[in-house]
Structure 1
Amino acid sequence: MKSKNSEFKNNNIKNMTKKYVLITALLFFTFLAQAQDKKAKDLLDQVTAKVKSYDSIIIDFKYSLNNAKENINQDSKGNVTMKGNQYVLNFMGITKIFDGNKTYTIVPEDEEITISKVNEKDDNAITPSKMLTFFNTGYRYSMDILQDIKGRKIQYIKLIPTSGKDQRKEVLLGIDVQTKHIYNLIETGKKGTKTTLTVNSFKTNQPLSKNQFTFTQSKYPNYYINKLD
């Protein structure tokens, strides 16, 4: 019969072996996660560099909002023209013009125009150009699935907001592997709402009018002008 010391020693060896295997597995998965994160960061950096390399960008997009619990299913289309920090956004019947100093929100249905100043240095200020590089701060990220969509290889990156106050559970960013352009953006809220923005066309360095981002008040003679600043 084995002595108690021998059994104790064997049990210790087994326990140490299990711990060693567990630690090795944890280190392996940690290394794998870090490698995935590096791949994700490299791809996001390429997207950012590509966006910044263009003189101007014109995007046509589709926006979908879904919430099965609330029985909400809405689709809208829009387009945006950008050059530097200036932009013209047309979405849901409203036009927003930012000339680099002020934002002009034009609402034809109400015949009203709201004029306000924007502090571009404010990190919380949301602009179309920032939407193309929003992922650089405030998220943990990792590689997700690779999909073939209409002959295009779309690599998804999962973004998890680091702020507990953020009402989004996660964001999936779909990137065209070949062009390094954003294909779509899928946001899932903590309350089950899912919004999807899909880029239908992405044009770059197109000739633009010199007055492309200029607000001309004479075009809206009967509109009420609401100046916030």
Structure 2
Amino acid sequence: MKSKIQALKKNNIKRISKIFFQITALLLFSFSIQAQDKKAKDLLDQVTAKVRSYDNIVIDFKYSLNNTKENINQDSKGNVTMKGNQFVLNFMGVTKIFDGKKTYTIVPEDEEITISKVNDKDDNAITPSKLLTFFNTGYKYNMDMLQDVKGRKIQYIKLVPTNAKDQRKEILLGIDVQTKHIYNLIEMGKKGTKTTLTVNSFKTNQPLSKNQFTFTESKYPNYYINKLD
């Protein structure tokens, strides 16, 4: 049972990293869209321009995973602090720190820390260079529904993978029309799995410690440190 729980935790951490950094890619970098919906492109460009004006971003989010057929309903909360390419992500009791060169994954439950360098050749790795190009290819973009969410106008953009082997049917990216901030991201899988990441709090230009993105080994005297590189 413990091994199943650990496997589920690792799978969710990997999943939240991929979904969250899809949002981060849109938040921090611009990208080109050819032969796509011009209104969608214009809105995404506005989101990018708005967020690029911030020195740092602090987000609290909710993550939900649902699959009616498999009777799966799981909700979790997390937070992330970003400044440039650096970030600190806290999710399901695990902390991920990226200082611009290395990623430090801290798991208090197991008293273990994994340190790894960025590998641009790893298709599963989230790297600053991939954030620059994540949405450049592989998706079709179109404006979708406009919803009223507690008095906020949320405009959705639908992203459909062009690769037939992709297990995702579509992705809906919700943008607050007034603030031009990301509100949520909904990913629909071909096998019925629905994952939703909702931004509960979006703060900018916060006072951060100069060591905010620095890993200090002395803080974890009894931890096993696994250096992959």
TM-score of the aligned structures, taking structure 2 as reference length:
0.79
Q: Distance in 2 between matches of 1:85 and 1:137?
A: 21
Match of residue 20 from structure 2: none
SS at match of 2:202: strand
Q: Distance in 2 between matches of 1:51 and 1:123?
A: 27
Q: Distance in 2 between matches of 1:132 and 1:198?
A: 23
Amino acid at match of 2:45: D
Match of residue 174 from structure 1: 174
Further displaced range: 218-227 or 157-166: 157-166
Match of residue 22 from structure 1: none
| Cα gap change, 1:83 to 1:129, in 2 (>3 Å) | farther
Q: Distance in 2 between matches of 1:118 and 1:161?
A: 26
SS at match of 1:46: helix
Match of residue 38 from structure 1: 38
Instruction: Give the number of the structure whose alpha-carbon radius of gyration is greater.
Output: 1
Same amino acid, percent of matched pairs:
90
Match of residue 215 from structure 1: 215
Further displaced range: 34-43 or 179-188: 34-43
Q: Distance in 2 between matches of 1:72 and 1:117?
A: 34
SS at match of 2:44: helix
The alpha carbon displacement at 1:36 in A equals 8.1
Q: Does the CA contact (< 8 Å) of 1:186 and 1:196 recur in 2?
A: yes
Deviations 1:94-126 (A, max 9, x none): 000001110000001110000000146978632
The gaps in structure 1 that reach 5 residues or longer are 1-33
Q: Distance in 1 between matches of 2:131 and 2:51?
A: 11
The alpha carbon displacement at 1:138 in A equals 2.4
Q: Distance in 2 between matches of 1:50 and 1:99?
A: 24
| Cα gap change, 1:58 to 1:134, in 2 (>3 Å) | farther
* Residue 87 (structure 1) aligned with residue 87 (structure 2): yes
C-alpha root-mean-square deviation of aligned residues, in Å? 2.5
Q: Distance in 2 between matches of 1:35 and 1:143?
A: 14
Q: Does the CA contact (< 8 Å) of 1:82 and 1:129 recur in 2?
A: no
Match of residue 125 from structure 1: 125
| Cα gap change, 1:39 to 1:82, in 2 (>3 Å) | same
Match of residue 185 from structure 2: 185
| Cα gap change, 1:62 to 1:133, in 2 (>3 Å) | farther
The gaps in structure 2 that reach 5 residues or longer are 1-33
Q: Distance in 1 between matches of 2:184 and 2:169?
A: 17
The alpha carbon displacement at 1:164 in A equals 2.3
Match of residue 15 from structure 2: none
TM-score of the aligned structures, taking structure 1 as reference length:
0.79
* Residue 161 (structure 1) aligned with residue 161 (structure 2): yes
Q: Does the CA contact (< 8 Å) of 2:118 and 2:127 recur in 1?
A: no
